[in-house]
């Protein structure tokens, strides 16, 4: 068992089985042994990879989206360009490279990064040295804002409930001997679950989505949320742990494996509506990237390279947008302040 596993086992011996949200937040964010606290998990040598790490085209197209939204906001002379969970800073660096082509927009942008991981903050510092860092959204500046979040919400904790017959149970981490094991405890919570199966409660994610929407509605602007998940609230156990690009059991390597679950975009969108934001739409990543010009941009880049590099470039774009790869499971949601024109390509078809 990992060091963090021993610590969690000790907590369970003392206090009884642990809800999934507490387990997830310890695994990912424990101040000494948390997964994101101790390492840079991204890339071939890590545990998983993300769109901006797969191809620069991803961030470039989002850069075009940002420039377009800035213009529709009336080209403010100062605005906060905010990223939630910026990983290695690759996406922000790619966005900024595109913004540099729209001089007034680049000059107006103040970069703010919300990041808890010291290891990843160091990586971000190398790529985006001019940024200001925040631990939470609470300290973001009072400026018109454009917010981007790629694979951020999936890392925020969830709880899991299950209805069996007329009873509701909560899924928890308990002990079997010295081993961590998933189990069920009767739940006093009233969970409105229709049908039998696992219901994933997104309260923590919805609270952060509300803060995001509040920033945008109070100050003007828009947010773009990209993640894997479903458009409508649905039953299903999507909790997963990744270790060196393979799935492992969620109780296997606490602190050494990444733990995430699919994002319920309906729940996130509903939370944004509470703040009077406009949920401008939800698209699949494939439709979004294709509408933003994935093919044309890939072709332009491919012209300047040959051989393997060229093949890899084309394959990377396909991976981002193809239905059977990241194109369909990944969704893109746009949220804006009232009165802002619907940002392209949402509602364009």
Q: Which residues bind ligand SAH (CB under 6 A)?
A: 28, 36, 42, 50, 52-53, 85-87, 91, 114-117, 120, 150-152, 155-156
Closer Cβ to ligand SAH, 108 or 113, answer by number: 113
**Min. distance of Cβ 236 from ligand SAH in angstroms?**
22
For ligand SAH, the closer CB: 84 or 108: 84
Judged by CB, which is closer to ligand SAH: 117, or 160?
117
Q: How far is the CB of 91 from ligand SAH (least distance, A)?
A: 6
CB 230 within 8 A of CB 267: no
Minimum separation from the CB atom of position 51 to ligand SAH (A): 6
Q: Helix 56-72 to helix 307-321 angle, to the nearest 10 degrees? A: 60
102: left (phi over 0), alpha (psi -120 to 50) or beta: beta
Q: Closest approach of Cβ 115 to ligand SAH, in Å?
A: 5
Nearer to ligand SAH, 13 or 247 (CB): 247
CA distance 101 to 93: 13
Where is 19: in which H helix or E strand?
strand 18-19
CB of residue 141 to ligand SAH, shortest distance in Å:
17
Q: Which is nearer to ligand SAH, 63 or 76 (CB)?
A: 63
Backbone angles phi, psi at 166, to 5 degrees: -95, 0
Minimal CB distance residue for ligand SAH? 85
Cβ-based nearer residue to ligand SAH, 105 or 226:
226
DSSP alpha helices (H): ranges in the chain?
A: 3-15, 20-29, 35-38, 51-54, 56-72, 90-99, 103-108, 118-127, 203-219, 265-274, 285-292, 294-303, 307-321, 328-329
Beta bridge partners of 81: 111, 146
- CB 41, min distance to ligand SAH, A: 7
State the DSSP code for 47. Answer: S
């Amino acid at each position: 068992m990992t060091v963090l596993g021993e610590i969690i086992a000790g907590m369970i011996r003392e206090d009884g089985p642990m809800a999934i949200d507490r387990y997830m937040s310890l695994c990912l964010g424990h101040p000494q042994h948390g997964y994101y606290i101790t390492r840079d998990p991204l890339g071939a040598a890590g545990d998983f990879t993300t769109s901006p790490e797969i191809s620069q085209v991803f961030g470039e197209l989002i850069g075009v989206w940002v420039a377009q939204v800035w213009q529709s906001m009336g080209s403010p002379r100062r605005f906060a360009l905010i990223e939630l969970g910026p990983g290695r800073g690759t996406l922000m660096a790619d966005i900024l490279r595109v913004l540099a082509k729209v001089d007034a927009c680049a000059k107006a942008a103040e970069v703010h990064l919300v990041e808890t991981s010291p290891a990843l903050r160091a990586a971000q510092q190398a790529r985006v040295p001019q940024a200001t860092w925040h631990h939470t959204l609470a300290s973001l500046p009072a400026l018109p804002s454009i917010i981007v979040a790629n694979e951020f919400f999936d890392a925020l904790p969830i709880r899991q409930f299950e209805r069996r017959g007329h009873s509701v149970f909560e899924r928890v981490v308990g002990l079997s001997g010295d081993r961590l094991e998933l189990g069920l405890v009767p739940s006093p919570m009233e969970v409105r679950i229709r049908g039998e199966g696992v219901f994933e409660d997104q309260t923590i994610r919805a609270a952060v989505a509300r803060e995001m929407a509040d920033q945008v509605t109070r100050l003007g602007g828009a947010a773009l949320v990209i993640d894997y998940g479903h458009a409508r609230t649905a039953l299903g156990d999507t909790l997963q742990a990744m270790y060196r690009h393979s799935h492992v059991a969620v109780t296997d390597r606490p602190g050494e494996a990444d733990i995430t679950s699919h994002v319920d975009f309906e729940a996130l969108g509903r939370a944004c509506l509470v703040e009077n934001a406009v949920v401008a739409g939800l698209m699949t990543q494939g439709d979004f990237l294709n509408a933003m010009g994935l093919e044309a941009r890939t072709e332009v880049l491919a012209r300047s390279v040959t051989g393997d590099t060229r093949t890899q470039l084309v394959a990377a774009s396909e991976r981002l947008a193809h239905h059977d790869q990241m194109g369909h499971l990944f969704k893109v949601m746009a949220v804006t302040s009232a009165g802002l024109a619907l940002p392209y390509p949402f509602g364009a078809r």
